Structure formats: structure tokens, C-alpha cells
Amino acid sequence: MFRKVLVIMLSIWVLTSSLCACGLDSIVPGRQTSSETKEEQIGDGTSYRDFITVMSETKEKGDKTAELWLPVNSEYYYSFAGASVSAMRYAVENILLSKSEGGTLESLTADSPYVGWETIAEINYASPYPSYFEGLVLEVQEKYEESVEPYALSSIMPLFPEEGLDFSYLAEMSVSSLRELRDTLRELEDSIYAVYTPVLTGVERDPDMFDPEYLIVKSAESVEREDYVKALWYAKNALKADPFDVTVWHNAAMCAMYALDLELMGQYVDEGLAIFPQDETLLMFRESMTDAVKEMEGK
């Protein structure tokens, strides 16, 4: 009964408001180029050492936000680093296979945590690296027409580095260097997945899942169909795509409310206010929840 009363009270405000999507202004983990070794960076490629450094730093940001009891923010960093590193490692394994190493892809990936482009992409749809490395592997396999689509998808994502990406030199690296790189990436993966376990559904990849505005619209459509579980799933992915947009917190809190997960709603309101302490919508949610609790306690 308490939950229903709280939902009704909050719904009064929700029904007088409309979901809107704000422009993205994400801070992208950047990259620096280096030329430490000829094999590491051939031509104008991207240094894999810098990539590993950036992803290690991203994982550390996840650690710091986890210590501050900001689970959504920590998942954003962990999932981005995890999807990106797993994508590069899986690409290296595919390139090793193209060099007739290891016999089968299954044997090469036997000790790897996540395999398959669909699976790796779902860890964080906002990371451009699963799509980029999928395109690279297809290009190495001389499947040029098939490589166009994943390359194009990665390039339009907001988190795609402004400087561009070019890891094509991986195909020219020696087998021993590729194996060493694969092992280094696995170590970084282990450190990420030791503290973060992705929740995967195995759904078919939607090419627009990187876009918080699109995800908010899909949440609203699911609410209209009264599919609140699906609405909350879209809302959670919007948070992983860009937790620095206050609109995704509004959306997540409302979807949790409709799903009758009021504990999660409270968590979203509290964490959202930790980032946007003056936001009127989140403050309204907190006040409404507090008033509802007081009303129920008074009865």
C-alpha cells in the first residue's frame, strides 16, 4: 500500500512534466600519441600503450567513485574501460588467428572473460571501441564491405576520440608481440572485472544504444506500453552512456518509480543530487518521497 501511495503522489508531478533530452557535453577519455617503438606505432596509428594507460586511469576513476558510494558513476567508468579493453583484446586474438596461431578462435579466447562483438558491446554501448575493432578485424580478414558499417558506427559516437583511431598496425605486429599485448590486456581486464560484473542480457545490439536522448525516448515509449522493466533497462543504459547529463537521472528516477523499485529510485535521486545538488527536479523527487513516508508513518 505504501508503495502505491508513493507512486501516485509522484505520478501527479510526472504527468505534468515531459521528458526532454539535453545536448551531450561528455568528457571523453582522450589519447596521446607516442612513438616509443616502430612496432608499437606504424604510420599515424594510435599507441596501444597510451590506450592501456587511459583505460587504466578510467578504471581508477571507477575505484574512486565507488569509494564515494556513487555506484552509477563507478559503473560508467568500469563499463567503459571494460568494453574498450575487452574489444581490443578480442581484436588481438582475431588477428592472431589470422596469422594461423592457436588453431581456433575458441582456443585463443579460452581464458578471456568476454568474447563476441555483441557481448562486448553490451558491456557499455557508448564505447566506440567494440564497433571500431570489429571493423578492424573485418578489414584484416579482407571483408572490406562488411567493415564499413561498424567503422561508421564507431565514428559517430560522442565518445569517439576527436583525433580519430588507427590501430591497423596491429596486423603488422609479430606473433610474440601480439601475445604479449593480449596478456597485458587480460591483466587489465581481470582488474576491472574483479570489482565490476556486467549485467548482460544477450539482446541483439541496437546501433543507437550509445545515444542518451534515444534511450530516454525508448524509456518513455516503454512506459506508455506499461513495460516498466524494459523502460528501466533503457534508463540504466542511458546512465552508462552519459551520467553527466541531468536528464538521464530524471528519467532513471521516474522509470524506477514506475517499476515500483522505490529503493532504486531513492538511490538515483541521492546520487543524482551528489552531482547536481541544486537540480529542482531531483529535489522535488526527494521532497515528495520524504512527504510520502511521513504521511504513511502518521497513519
Local confidence band at 6 (pLDDT 50, 70, 90 cut-offs): very low
pLDDT value of residue 46:
85
Give pLDDT tens digits for 93-117: 999 999 876 588 998 899 999 999 9
What DSSP string runs through 199-260? Answer: ----PPPPTTTT-HHHHHHHHHHHHHTT-HHHHHHHHHHHHHH-TTSHHHHHHHHHHHHHTT
Helices (H), the chain: 2-14, 48-67, 71-98, 105-108, 117-123, 129-140, 144-155, 175-193, 212-224, 228-241, 246-258, 262-275, 280-298
Give pLDDT tens digits for 188-205: 999 999 999 999 999 888
pLDDT value of residue 34:
34
pLDDT value of residue 30:
33
Under a CB-based contact definition with an 8 Å cutoff, are residues 252 and 268 in contact? yes
Identify which of 21, 14, 16 has the alpha carbon closest to the alpha carbon of residue 248: 21
pLDDT value of residue 4:
35
Domain coordinates of the chain in residue numbers?
Answer: 2-22+211-298, 48-193
Mean pLDDT over the full length of the chain: 85
Among 11-15, 277-281, 291-295, top mean pLDDT goes to 277-281
Distance between CA 88 and CA 133 in Å, rounded? 6
More confident residue, 177 or 18: 177
Average confidence (pLDDT) over 145-160? 96
Residue 13 has pLDDT above 70, yes or no: no
pLDDT value of residue 256:
95
pLDDT value of residue 290:
83
pTM of the model: 0.83
Count of residues for the chain?
299
Local confidence band at 17 (pLDDT 50, 70, 90 cut-offs): very low
Under a CB-based contact definition with an 8 Å cutoff, are residues 166 and 151 in contact? no
Residue 8 has pLDDT above 50, yes or no: no
Q: Output DSSP code: residue 22.
A: P
Average confidence (pLDDT) over 162-171? 93
Q: Does domain 2-22+211-298 have CATH number 1.25.40.10?
A: yes
Residue 66 has pLDDT above 50, yes or no: yes
Residue 131 has pLDDT above 60, yes or no: yes
Under a CB-based contact definition with an 8 Å cutoff, are residues 82 and 178 in contact? no
Give pLDDT tens digits for 35-59: 334 344 333 468 999 999 999 999 9
Give pLDDT tens digits for 218-275: 999 999 999 999 999 999 999 999 999 999 999 999 999 999 998 999 999 999 999 9
